[in-house]
Amino acid sequence: MTSEPYLLTPGPLTTSLRTRQSMLRDWGSWDVDFNTLTGRVRERLLQIVHGAGTHECVPMQGSGTFSVEGAIGTLVPRTGHVLVPQNGAYCQRIARICRVLGRKLTTIDYPEDTQVAAADVERALASDPSITHVALVHCETSTGILNPLPQIAQVVARHGKGLIVDAMSSFGALEIDARNTPFDAVVAASGKCLEGPPGMGFVIARRGALERSEGNCHSLALDLYDQWVYMEKTTQWRYTPPTHVVAAFDSAISQYLEEGGLPARGARYAHNCRTLIAGMARLGLRSFLPAAIQAPIIVTFYAPDTPHYSFKSFYDAVKAHGYVLYPGKLTTLETFRVGCMGQLGERGIAGAIDAVGKVLAQLQARPEPAREARERQ
C-alpha cells in the first residue's frame, strides 16, 4: 500500500509526481512567462481536436461545470431553445443549467443503460424548428455510457443547429475531430483524461459561433466571449487565474504528448477497462453496461450480493488497502463506480482488483444475520 491511496474516481484522479511538483512554483498572473504558458496550453488543447484555424480555446477558472454553464450561457442566445438528450446525471445537470439560465428546454429521456440515438435527435429537430442548439454529453460519467457523438453531430449539422458537447470524461482519450465532427463547442476540464489537477475548465469553440455570441451571457464571470476577447488582446486572463493548476496542467499535457497523445492515452485506458471488467467478473461483480456502449473511462458495477454490504463500509475497507472508489449515481440500483484514468502505479488496476477481492472475502466470511441472532440466544 502507498502512503496516499490511488484515486479510482472520475476526477480528481491520481496525477504524476512530475505534475504535482510543477505546482511548487508561484507565478505572477500578469507575468509574461505565465502568459506564455497559458498560450501554450490553449494551442495544444486545440491541436488535440484538430481545431487550429477554425476554433478557439477559451480557458475558464473553476470546475468543468463552470465551463459547461459558460458555454450554454454564452453560445445560446437568450431567445434560444436547447434540446438535451438525457441518459444520466450529467445530462440532467445540463438541463438544469438551461432552466436556471432561462433558456427554453426540450429533453429526450432514456434509461440510464441506453445510448442516445441519432434518429431520435433527427425526429426532434424535424418536429420543432425553434430548437437552436443540441447539448450532448459524450461520455456520461454517472454510468460510463458512450453516446454516438459523430452520428449526432452530423444530424445537428444537417439541420443547421449548434452542437455543444460535454466531453469531460472523453477529451484526450476518445477521438473528437473538429475536421469531420461539426460542433459549436466542446467542453472539458483539467482533471480528467489529460491527468492534470482539477480547477480549470476550457471550451473549444467554433470561431464563428464565438464571434456572434457577444452580449448573450447572463454572467460577467462566465462570459466566454469576454474572456476570449480579453485574452486575444492581452494574452492574460480577465480575473485571477488558478496559476498553480494551469502550470500543472501544462506539465500534464507535455507528459500526455510524450506518452503518444490520444492513441496512447486511449489505449492505456482501454486496457485498464478490459482488465477491470474481467477481474471484477472473476470476483462475481457484474458491470452495469454491455461492452458495446461502455466507454473506457469509468465502469459502474452492481453492488456485491451480500447482506453485509454497505457502500461506506466497502469504501472504507478498500481505501484501507490503498484504493479510493466512487459511489454509484444511479437512482434505482445499488452500484459503485471504478475509474480507469490516472497514474495508477506499477500494479495498476490489478492491485485494485486484488484489494476488492480481499474485502469481498471478508464480507462473505461474516456469519449471516439470522445465524448471529441464534448464536446470541
348 in the same domain as 294: yes
Q: Which of 258, 281, 313 is the last residue of a domain?
A: 258
283 in the same domain as 211: no
* Residue 180 DSSP class: T
Q: Which residues of the chain have pLDDT under 70?
A: 1-2, 331, 365-377
Q: Which of 212, 234, 258 is the last residue of a domain?
A: 258
277 in the same domain as 227: no
53 in the same domain as 36: yes
219 is a domain residue: yes
Cell of 241: 487565474
Report how far residue 139's alpha carbon sits from residue 305's, in angstroms, rounded to the nearest whole number.
Answer: 28
CATH number where 331 lies: 3.90.1150.10
Total of domains in the chain: 2
92 is a domain residue: yes
274 is a domain residue: yes
306 is a domain residue: yes
- The per-residue pLDDT for 371 is 42
265 in the same domain as 349: yes
181 in the same domain as 75: yes
1 is a domain residue: no
234 in the same domain as 353: no
Report how far residue 299's alpha carbon sits from residue 276's, in angstroms, rounded to the nearest whole number.
Answer: 8
241 in the same domain as 125: yes
173 in the same domain as 221: yes
Residue span of the structural domain in which 277 resides: 6-10+261-376
CATH number where 159 lies: 3.40.640.10
Which residues have CB under 8 Å from 58's CB, separation 6+? 202, 203, 205, 210, 224, 227, 228, 231
271 in the same domain as 242: no
Cell of 228: 476570449
355 is a domain residue: yes
Phi, psi of 361 (to 5 degrees): -60, -40
116 is a domain residue: yes
Q: Which of 205, 231, 258 is the last residue of a domain?
A: 258
Planar angle of CA 177, 182, 188, nearest 5 degrees? 60
354 in the same domain as 303: yes
241 in the same domain as 315: no
318 is a domain residue: yes
- The per-residue pLDDT for 236 is 96
Consecutive H or E run containing 55: strand 55-61
- The per-residue pLDDT for 234 is 97
HSE-CB at 253 with a 13 A cutoff on CA atoms is 21
Report how far residue 324's alpha carbon sits from residue 339's, in angstroms, rounded to the nearest whole number.
Answer: 10
Q: In this predicted model, what pLDDT tens digit does every residue of 279-309 receive, in sequence order?
A: 999 999 999 999 999 999 999 999 998 888 8
3-class SS at 280?
helix
